[in-house]
A and B are shown apart, each in its own frame.
Chain A
Amino acid sequence: ETGVTQTPRHLVMGMTNKKSLKCEQHLGHNAMYWYKQSAKKPLELMFVYNFKEQTENNSVPSRFSPECPNSSHLFLHLHTLQPEDSALYLCASSQEHGSNYGYTFGSGTRLTVV
């Protein structure tokens, strides 16, 4: 296990369901991120939280709602998703720039919308 833990590992949900993805980091980092990885596309940044404050929303539809209650936990709340939202959702954490350690990623949640 890396220092970033994501649950669940797999999720199948209907378009009318509401679910949440969870991410927890044990590295003492102060920034956390959600990335989306779709088939045959580069990883796309969705949200950035720095010291619990959302500093970037990369034009993500409102059916994705992030929450960062503290610098160690990050959630992605999902509702009324579409089949094209099926993807691997990756959480990551980092220190500020100048860090010698870069980004640390979790293992991801494989989401399938039916």
Chain B
Amino acid sequence: KQEVTQIPAALSVPEGENLVLNCSFTDSAIYNLQWFRQDPGKGLTSLLLIQSSQREQTSGRLNASLDKSSGRSTLYIAASQPGDSATYLCAVWDGGTSYGKLTFGQGTILTVHP
């Protein structure tokens, strides 16, 4: 059974810092990995999707890497801003089925203070 772990559980940083969120998964037979952002009481917003054949994806100040063989992914946020404060969720799309089946980590709660 796939298990996804995110470290740290919570992170508080001053504005302007670069930061790294970590995600690890136990079964490397995945189709892709997706990072999401969730604001309090809201749904999930997709940030980046990395296919299993890719090593990284970038969108603006965000960069996500994937090391499938070691079961790890990192989300790098450059020049953090208070608006980045949210919960960040990592999810892996397990292989073996034609439809997707996402397994989520528990998330990292990020607070960026002015």
Contacts and interface: CB of A to CB of B under 8 A. Distances in A.
Interface of A: 2, 6, 30-31, 33, 40-43, 45, 48, 50, 55-56, 88, 90, 92, 94, 96-108, 110
B101 interface: yes
Secondary structure dominating the interface of B: strand
A98 B51 CA distance: 8
Contact of B46 (A48, A88, A103): A103
A6 B43 CA distance: 10
Interface stretch (B12-20, B31-39, B66-74): B31-39
A101 B31 CA distance: 12
Interface in B54-89: 89
22 contacts: A2-B45, A41-B106, A42-B4, A42-B104, A42-B105, A42-B106, A42-B107, A43-B91, A50-B99, A90-B43, A90-B44, A94-B99, A96-B98, A96-B99, A97-B100, A98-B31, A103-B34, A103-B93, A105-B45, A107-B42, A108-B42, A110-B41
A31 B17 CA distance: 39
Nearest to A58: B101
Contact of B49 (A31, A33, A43, A102): A102
Contacts of B34: 102-103
Given A42-B104, A43-B89, A105-B36, A97 B43 contact: no
